[in-house]
Every structure is written in C-alpha cells, then in structure tokens.
Amino acid sequence: MSFLSRKLLSLPHIRIENCRAMGWAAVCQMTVTNKVKENYEQAKKLIESAAGKGAEMVFLPEAFDFIGTNSQETRQLAEDLQGNTITNFRELAVKNKVWLSLGGFHLKSNESDEKLSNCHVIISSSGDLVSTYNKAHLFDVEIPGKFRLKESDYVNRGEKICDPIDTPIGKLGLSICYDLRFPELSLSLRKRGAQILTFPSAFTVPTGMAHWKPLLQARAIESQCYVIAAAQTGKHNDKRSSYGHAMIVDPWGAVVTECREGINFALAEIDLDYLNKIRREMPVMEQRREDLYGNIQSVNTEQIEPIPADDWIFKFGPATVYGHSVVHRTNSSLLFVNKKPVVPGHSLVAPLRGVIRLTDLSTEETSDLFNLVKQTEKMLMKNYNTNSCTISIQDGPLAGQSIPHLHVHLLPRKENDFNRNDDIYSELEKHDKVETGWRDEQTMAQEAKEFRKSWKQTFG
C-alpha cells in the first residue's frame, strides 16, 4: 500500500471508492541554495517524478529558484520572466504535460530598481505564462540580538490580488508564505471563486513548529477550500534553515497528504464534489454577518479592468456613455465625465449593472461603488486644488433622479462658486432638464483623457 493510500485511509470521512476526483496535485519539498543550476536539477527531478505518478499540476515552494546568502547576491542572481529560469520551466511543463506552480520567483522587473518582486508564477502544460502574483505581505521580523529577516530590504510589496485562475484541478487562488497569516486575503480569494488556495513557503523552523500546520488548517476550514502548501526544508546556508512539512489540507481541515523529511513530493486527489458537499452542508459564506463586522472586499490599487475602447458603449438608462468618456473602471463600477456639468470637474460614478436604487446593489457592489467614489474625490480635489467636494445621490424620483440608473455626483468645490452654498442642490435637480448647454463628445473625451492622467498621477 502506498504512502498516500495509508494517509487517505486514516481519514474516516474520506471514502476512496466513492471519490470523484477532478485531478491530482503534487506538493513538493525542496532544499535550495545559492546554486541556481543545482536547484533547477532538483526541481526537474521532482516534476518528472510527480508527472510520472499521474500529477496534473505540480507545486514548488517559495524561492524555488535560489536562496541567496545575502541581499546583494540575491539581486545578482535574480532574473526577469524572459530569463533562463522561467524559460527552462516552461519547457519542463510542456515536456511533462503538467501545469506548474512556481511558488516564489525572484523577479527583476528592471535594472534600475534596486528591489525585486517575490513572484508566484503559474505555467500551463502548453508552456504558457497563465498568471503572476507578487507577494502582498512581506516577512519583516526582528528580535534584537536573536533574529532578523526583513524581506522589505530587497523586495517590493505586491499591490494586487489576482483573480483565481482555472486549472486542471480547480480554481486556484494565489498567495505566498507570509500571506498565510492574513485570513482576509484567503476570504477575498474565496469570494472571488477560489476552490483551492496555495501557500508556497519557506517558513523558519521556530515559526513552522509553532504555527505552520494550524494556520494551513485554519485557512482551509474558514474558506472551505483545499490548501496546497509546498515548502522549503532543511539548511540553505549558515544563516538560514526552513521547517518543511509540505502538505495538502482538504476543505474540512484534514491533512490529506504530507511530505516526509528531505527533498520529496506527495500526491493527493482534489475532489471538488467533496468540496461542494461541505459548502452545501455548512454554508458559512452565506451566513456571514457583514452588517456587523464589514465586508471582505479585495480592492487593487492598480486598475482592475482596462479603459474600454472608444466605441465601447455603456447603457446609462436611456443615455449612452462611450469608452472615450470613461476615466476609470473596476470590477463592478464606472467613473465617467458628465455631459452637462454643474461645475468644472462634475463627474459621475455608477454601477456597471443597470440597477435603479441604492438598495438594489449587493454588498460587494456597494463596497466597490463607494471605494471608487472615495478615490474619485481624492483625484478631483488634487486636480482642482481644493479641499472640498459635494457628493450627492438622487435616489428615486422624489429626490430628483431623472435617469433610471443609480449614479453618484461628485462636484469639486471652489470658494464662491455659488452665491449660496446650497444652491448647488437646486442646480443639480434642474441642470439636465434644460435643453441647452450639453457638451459634445470631443470635449468630453478630452476631459476624460486629462482625468486619466490625473488618476495615474494620484494613484500610480
């Protein structure tokens, strides 16, 4: 009987004979050093062996490429995504017909940047770069006289949560090592559709002994996802050692498989039918009381969706908004310039979905809408050199709503822009009911272009 079969049979709630698996995953354990070629050969053997045992996706740990002896050496050894390391792994994926999760690549984005990115790279079995994720939470720990490891000394913090990606074993949400300690990230990935969370790691020995397994089980239980955690193990150099214990945890929190000591891998079936059964029988995501403690909503500081093409059309009630009038777009909201502004800079934010009233929005849409409102206010006040902005929603016909599509007015304010400050509300009520004063598309497109430039200057 194989090691994996013994592990599965030891878990009473898993019935192998009735298991309807979606795919096999291999979780790997490595001991890398600063010798890049030797590390590659180590990974190559693990991938070939795992593929030979039926793995459809192979997971390598954080720093699979190398662990430097100091930050200077780390910068020297780093590559970009077109370098030899990623090229070699793309060829390995094709040759072995497996998907690869490369858990933490030392990414050199450009020569002028002194810092790197800790980048999780996903490669398909056809050798395509499917997704990349830069580590959001950096391991910065210093205990005077005992221990110091500050990742931020040489790594740039990631600023984006990646949407889960489709793989042969299920929808995969990407994280790296220290991200494991922040449940908000896992819950956000689950809300975006993740069925599997992966935490490629290089945990230190003291933190690994204390927290590695309970943290992995906690993330699996609270998100009701499979958790796949490849790991570094053993001594890398005189200053650094890793805990190991790479494992796969199921959505019930049970450890399905775990690596033995040393360089090796372990296989497990990822059963999405079992996952869905757990979610049906204990629907914790539907029972969350976000009215009490808020909504877990992942908001990326970089643009989530590209600016649409000029001929793109947004149906704003009976009106039409073209792509050239759009300033910013998120997953569910849109910022665009106004065809008939009350004051210079008067802009509109609306949900992409054609809802009429504020109460028609979902919790996630509400959060997304008002986050975009907040960002828009910041951009407009900076652009118009003011510290004030009128924000208004005409929610319903008795409130003055003339377009049956929920929208938020943002009007940057200047000293003495109205005789009486509150006159702005009467102007809002009647401004679009007068036939004259409407702007042409070219004027709107030019303003949107200027605002997009201001947005980039404000948020990067």
Alpha-carbon distance 456 to 301, whole Å? 11
Instruction: Specify whether 324 is catalytic.
Output: no
Q: Judge residue 216's burial from the number of C-beta atoms within 10 Å of its C-beta, 0-12 exposed, 13-18 middle, 19 or more buried.
A: buried
- What is residue 402's DSSP assignment? -
CA 244 to chain centre: 25
The arrangement of strands across the sheet holding 196-198 comes to 165-167, 170-174, 196-198, 226-229, 247-249, 255-258
Contact assessment for residue 307 and residue 452, using Cβ atoms and an 8 Å cutoff: yes
Residue type (1 letter), 170: G
Instruction: Specify whether 119 is catalytic.
Output: no
- Tokens coding 317: 């009630």
Instruction: Specify whether 62 is catalytic.
Output: yes
Calculate the alpha carbon distances from 208 to 29, 215, 242 in Å. 14, 10, 8
Catalytic residue among 7, 56, 62, 162: 62
The closest alpha carbon to 452, from 336, 310, 311, belongs to 336
Q: Which residue has the tokens 């190398």?
A: 66
Alpha-carbon distance 340 to 431, whole Å? 7
Reported as half-sphere exposure (CB side, CA atoms, 13 A), residue 340 has a value of 13
Q: 56 phi and psi, to 5 degrees?
A: -100, -20
Instruction: Specify whether 177 is catalytic.
Output: yes
Q: Which residue has the tokens 């000591």?
A: 261
Contact assessment for residue 205 and residue 239, using Cβ atoms and an 8 Å cutoff: no
- Tokens coding 284: 């914790």
Contact assessment for residue 325 and residue 331, using Cβ atoms and an 8 Å cutoff: no
CA dihedral 419, 424, 430, 433 (to 10 degrees): 100
Catalytic residue among 7, 106, 120, 135: 135
Alpha-carbon distance 318 to 347, whole Å? 18
Catalytic residue among 119, 162, 177, 389: 177
Calculate the alpha carbon distances from 13 to 216, 255, 282, 409, 456 in Å. 19, 12, 15, 55, 52
**Length of the chain as a residue count:** 460
In Å, the largest CA–CA distance within the chain is: 86
Catalytic residue among 245, 407, 409, 447: 407
In angstroms and rounded to an integer, the radius of gyration of the C-alpha atoms of the chain is 26
Contact assessment for residue 295 and residue 364, using Cβ atoms and an 8 Å cutoff: yes
List, by residue number, the catalytic residues.
62, 135, 177, 407
